[in-house]
Structure 1
């Protein structure tokens, strides 16, 4: 299933050859690590957008610890008999069942989402992804370990512009709020790590704005593979992104095109953004 979804990515590109500006020698790249996308407090402003319905399993794993919410959540999903596609209870019920704080719960949910064990959709709730992803590793992680950063960026440029086009057609007001919130937090980030979390949140908000669960799942799987790629590291010259960081203006162009309901402009804005990111990642080989 994972591989078939990734193969679908190339169909979404509508056969365009858009990679001319990306270097083709992947052996001499200057690589940068992309950090996980969300901070624990990155959810607070959007609490009211989450579905508050659903039943709760009364299981809480024995011996859990407040500082280990990921293990508690994994056990809750496993012992509660949740299958792929099942919706988890709302946060307020999970807090009681797992006996954790809201902050610890959100850290655990963020970690499982980064692993691909769960996925979240505005207004619908939190869902269990493929069963094997509840444990670390899995086929997507293995796939990511076989990819070069260059191939990963080629996949992104094939998929994400098409998702942006769908977002311009289907985005709701709530989806635009999430997009804007991520942009504001990225601009206010005090560190590169925080910026990268909010950058990741911005890109996922576009997938959510498509209002297509398959595209959200495809984006999440692409992201899970991306996190497993060996990106290496680069020394930053500043502690946070400068005010003129090019991605700020590029994100604004994407969001504006989506808000204007202009599918082709959204497609082109996202393609330009990923090509710009690619140029920065691989500039060391020129």
Structure 2
């Protein structure tokens, strides 16, 4: 007979803690790659002890629903559960911001091209709404979240689950890469922020079902972002 390992049954209190964390994530509409608030904030928000919270986080990590990167935080894993959280954490510690932008330049223009070919009318409307939400963001943090949502909405519009999975995994690593601090000189993006016009061009190309223009527009947009960050593409 093989060896048996006896495990202590989960208490009702811990079950409640697990459910509270899951409910918090669901209510927050976190997308793959989003970072959860720090443990201290979660303890206050959920009314949990540090021990109960960490056990709940351990459970979700074991289930592949979150992944943790030491020194950077806890992130929502890909919805498919195939993102190999430990491997992504390892990769994010080795990838430079410049390499990350090069990876985006390789993948996202192709995603925009596929979106132009395959997007439904509903998908195009969602892209337009996401673009407008980014333009109306009241501050930089909100803008960055809405900009992220726009790019994911374009990936969703491809109708290709593999491309969406690749985007999600790339985005998860992007969230954890150690970027240098960006100095902001205003509370929110100015009305003439370059990305707004670039988003308009990408959206118009997808709505017009023009895959060549969509590819070029996305590549120009990411190249522009890269040039602002690094001074080169």
Report if TM-score (shorter chain) is over 0.5. Answer: yes
Give distance in 2, aligned partners of 1:118 and 1:251: 25
Matches within 5 A, 1:5-16: none
Paired position in structure 2 for 1:239? 187
Paired position in structure 1 for 2:117? 169
Matches within 5 A, 1:3-82: 62-64=15-17, 69=21, 73=22
1:110 to 16, 30, 49: 30
CA contact (8 A) 1:116 1:129 kept: no
Task: Give RMSD over aligned pairs.
Answer: 2.3
Matches within 5 A, 1:126-145: 128-130=80-82, 132-133=84-85, 138-145=86-93
Change (3 A) 1:139 1:233: same
Deviation of the 1:105 alpha carbon:
2.4
Measured against aligned partners, the alpha-carbon deviations of 1:130-178 in whole angstroms (never above 9, x if no partner) come to 2754xxxx11121011011111100000110011110000001121122
Give the number of the structure with larger relative contact order, counting CA–CA contacts within 8 Å between residues 6 or more apart: 1
TM, length-normalised to structure 1: 0.59
Paired position in structure 2 for 1:222? 170
TM, length-normalised to structure 2: 0.71
Change (3 A) 1:111 1:172: closer
Measured against aligned partners, the alpha-carbon deviations of 1:64-84 in whole angstroms (never above 9, x if no partner) come to 278x52xxx3xxxxxxxxxxx
Give distance in 1, aligned partners of 2:32 and 2:205: 32
Paired position in structure 1 for 2:4? none
Paired position in structure 2 for 1:178? 126
Give distance in 2, aligned partners of 1:275 and 1:157: 7
Give distance in 2, aligned partners of 1:104 and 1:195: 21
Give distance in 2, aligned partners of 1:211 and 1:156: 19
Query: Would you say how many aligned residue pairs link Structure 1 and Structure 2?
Result: 181
Give distance in 1, aligned partners of 2:106 and 2:210: 19
Measured against aligned partners, the alpha-carbon deviations of 1:175-234 in whole angstroms (never above 9, x if no partner) come to 112211111111111110000000000000110011100000000000011111110212
Paired position in structure 2 for 1:211? 159
Measured against aligned partners, the alpha-carbon deviations of 1:233-281 in whole angstroms (never above 9, x if no partner) come to 1220001000000000000000100110110000000000000000111
Give distance in 2, aligned partners of 1:117 and 1:104: 12
Paired position in structure 1 for 2:104? 156
Deviation of the 1:62 alpha carbon:
1.5
Change (3 A) 1:131 1:190: closer
Say which SS state the counterpart of residue 261 (structure 1) adopts: coil
Paired position in structure 2 for 1:29? none
Paired position in structure 1 for 2:139? 191
CA contact (8 A) 2:205 2:211 kept: yes
Change (3 A) 1:131 1:202: closer
CA contact (8 A) 1:117 1:131 kept: yes
